[in-house]
């Protein structure tokens, strides 16, 4: 257990740092800008995230499966692929800037959207070595790189807001943050930065990564498409409120997914050479544990959303009970369709299946568009998101059924129990002051937490003991582990 805590401390610190920045940045912006400017910033954020997610190769994860003696060549090939992507995607972002601005009735501000192409190009020169260290449970260098970049970005944001009181401060902050990220990653990496275009590993890296572009399209549409719909149909002020609500809900969820996904992928990678059913035990443990974490997270939204968000961001960001309930269940489904499925498919090189499953969740956009046109309400967006996430759960179960069959009863039992507890809390929020008054909300959260703790002790803890026998993380020779983990990629 002490080894687990030692390894987990750096990962937890890194995850907190990465997840805190968007939250803190939105808190500053919500207090400093009017709703229309806040909506403008949200549109810029959605545009940048869409371009990056839709073309994300997750190329550093390709390096997880490369034999250690070929690591340096693979790293140089991955850097080359990253730069080529940055050139192409950055150019597309510059060209698309005027069209995106026009669609959001911001034609006079097209240059602000085109500047996002520069950010994408700069970020393509990131040194990947600090991120690849994750496969050996080393997160210290990545923590330093992120800390330097985020400090530079926030400092620039605060200075820019004092000068401009507009979205220009945000643009300046992300440009400075990107430059600081590149500089720090190159300075702190333990290997030289090299590019190598004539290598068979470049093609292999592309074959690994290109299906993830379709996966990224699904993620981008699910995470950012609704912002374009809200901005175009309900207006920039409504988009400002929606941006705060989703930041408050999704940033901590991203932190949770980062923790579970990073640790589980490394755990599966290091279990590939072990016997006695350790790999299967780790999948079954995740099948029990992740829905419990999802249930606790959804409970936090039900009980604390309207207590914390108005206090932190302002009273204008209070949501209806219906919106909170829909958002909570949508978050639950989003978490449970992530791991262990994503880590399994990534580890096994089945990136096409992962892409198909995530693309299915883009159906949320159709639901959102239809419901807004029919009802013209703020809650319609959350209802559409919930329907899309539910379809995403069905899709990920379908594409992983053959490999996940033995863990499926564990997942179903845990997900059903967690959803039932969340449903009970939602019912209380409609009948009592839970979700509005702090005392009632905290009492409900503590009571449900105790219920989940008892369930986890009964059903999840035995799987943990089977999944991590003896040495908690890695046993055996690391080089042998790397060789055993090298797999052919499904193309």
* Residue-wise DSSP of 23-84: HHHHHHHHHHS-HHHHHHHHHHHHHHHHHHHHT---HHHHGGGS-GGGHHHHHHHHHHHHHH
Q: Residues 302, 202: one domain? A: no
Q: Residues 291, 410: one domain? A: yes
Where a domain ends, among 178, 207, 222? 222
Residue range 14-70, pLDDT digits in tens:
777 777 888 889 889 998 998 889 999 999 998 998 888 776 666 777 777 677 778
Q: Residues 301, 168: one domain? A: no
- Whether 50 maps to a domain, the answer reads yes
Q: Residues 34, 136: one domain? A: yes
Q: What is the pLDDT, as a whole number, of residue 476?
A: 39
Q: Residues 285, 184: one domain? A: no
Q: Residues 212, 281: one domain? A: no
Cα angle, residue 10 at apex, residues 6 and 16 outer, rounded to 5°:
130
- Whether 485 maps to a domain, the answer reads no
Q: Residues 284, 218: one domain? A: no
Q: Residues 8, 150: one domain? A: yes
User: Is the torsion defined by CA of 129, 132, 137, 140 positive or negative?
Assistant: positive
Q: What is the C-alpha separation between 33 and 30, in angstroms, rounded?
A: 6
Where a domain ends, among 204, 222, 240? 222
Q: Residues 213, 283: one domain? A: no
- Whether 97 maps to a domain, the answer reads yes
Instruction: Print the domain residue range for 81.
Output: 1-222
Q: Residues 286, 204: one domain? A: no
CA-to-CA separations, 21 to 173, 227, 302, 390, 403, in angstroms, rounded:
12, 20, 23, 29, 37
- Whether 398 maps to a domain, the answer reads yes
- Whether 118 maps to a domain, the answer reads yes
The pair of three-digit structure tokens given for residue 29, joined into one six-digit string: 């912006």
Q: Residues 291, 436: one domain? A: yes
Q: What is the pLDDT, as a whole number, of residue 485?
A: 36
| Residue 215 and residue 354 in contact, taking contact as beta carbons nearer than 8 Å | yes
Q: What is the pLDDT, as a whole number, of residue 491?
A: 25
Where a domain ends, among 156, 187, 222? 222
Q: Residues 296, 217: one domain? A: no
- Whether 248 maps to a domain, the answer reads no
- Whether 486 maps to a domain, the answer reads no
Q: What is the pLDDT, as a whole number, of residue 481?
A: 38
Q: What is the C-alpha separation between 256 and 336, in angstroms, rounded?
A: 11
Count structural domains, the chain.
2
- Whether 96 maps to a domain, the answer reads yes
The pair of three-digit structure tokens given for residue 111, joined into one six-digit string: 């240059």
Q: What is the pLDDT, as a whole number, of residue 4?
A: 52
Q: Which residues in the chain show pLDDT less than 50?
A: 1, 471-491
pTM for the whole structure: 0.72
């Amino acid at each position: 257990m002490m080894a687990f805590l030692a390894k987990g401390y750096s990962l937890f610190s890194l995850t907190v740092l990465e997840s805190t920045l968007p939250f803190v940045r939105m808190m500053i912006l919500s207090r400093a800008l009017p709703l229309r400017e806040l909506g403008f910033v949200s549109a810029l954020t959605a545009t940048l995230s869409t371009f990056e997610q839709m073309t994300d190769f997750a190329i550093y994860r390709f390096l997880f499966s490369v034999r250690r003696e070929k690591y340096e060549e693979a790293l140089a090939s991955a850097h080359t692929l990253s730069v080529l992507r940055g050139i192409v995607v950055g150019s597309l972002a510059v060209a698309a800037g005027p069209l995106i601005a026009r669609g959001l009735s911001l034609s006079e501000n097209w240059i602000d959207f085109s500047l996002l192409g520069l950010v994408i190009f700069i970020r393509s020169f990131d040194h990947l070595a600090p991120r690849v260290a994750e496969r050996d449970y080393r997160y210290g260098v990545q923590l330093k790189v992120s800390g330097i970049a985020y400090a530079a970005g926030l400092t620039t944001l605060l200075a820019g807001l004092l000068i401009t009181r507009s979205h220009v401060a945000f643009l300046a902050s992300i440009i400075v943050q990107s430059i600081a990220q590149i500089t720090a990653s190159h300075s702190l990496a333990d290997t030289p930065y090299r590019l190598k275009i004539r290598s068979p590993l470049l093609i292999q890296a592309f074959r690994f990564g290109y299906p993830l572009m379709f996966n990224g399209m699904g993620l981008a549409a699910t995470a950012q498409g609704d912002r374009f719909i809200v901005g175009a149909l309900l207006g920039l002020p409504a988009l400002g409120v929606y941006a705060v609500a989703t930041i408050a809900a999704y940033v901590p969820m991203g932190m949770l997914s980062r923790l579970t996904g990073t640790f589980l992928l490394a755990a599966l990678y290091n279990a590939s050479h072990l016997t006695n059913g350790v790999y299967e035990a780790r999948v079954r443990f995740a099948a029990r544990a992740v829905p419990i974490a999802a249930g606790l997270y959804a409970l936090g939204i039900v009980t604390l959303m309207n207590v914390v968000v108005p206090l932190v961001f302002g009273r204008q960001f209070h949501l209806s009970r219906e919106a909170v309930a829909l958002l909570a269940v949508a978050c639950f489904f989003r978490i449970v369709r992530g791991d262990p499925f994503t880590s399994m498919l990534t580890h096994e090189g089945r990136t096409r299946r992962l892409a198909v499953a995530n693309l299915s969740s883009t159906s949320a956009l159709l639901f959102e568009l239809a419901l807004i046109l029919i009802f013209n309400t703020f809650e319609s967006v959350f209802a559409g998101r919930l329907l899309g996430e539910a379809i995403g759960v069905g899709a990920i179960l379908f594409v992983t059924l053959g490999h996940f069959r033995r863990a499926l009863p564990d997942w179903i039992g845990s997900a059903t129990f967690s959803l039932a507890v969340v449903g009970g809390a939602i019912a209380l929020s409609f009948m009592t002051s839970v979700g509005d008054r702090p005392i009632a909300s905290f009492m409900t959260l503590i009571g449900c937490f105790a219920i989940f703790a008892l369930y986890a002790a009964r059903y999840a803890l035995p799987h943990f003991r089977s999944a991590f026998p003896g040495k908690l993380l890695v046993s055996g020779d690391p080089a042998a582990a790397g060789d055993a983990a090298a797999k052919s990629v499904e193309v």
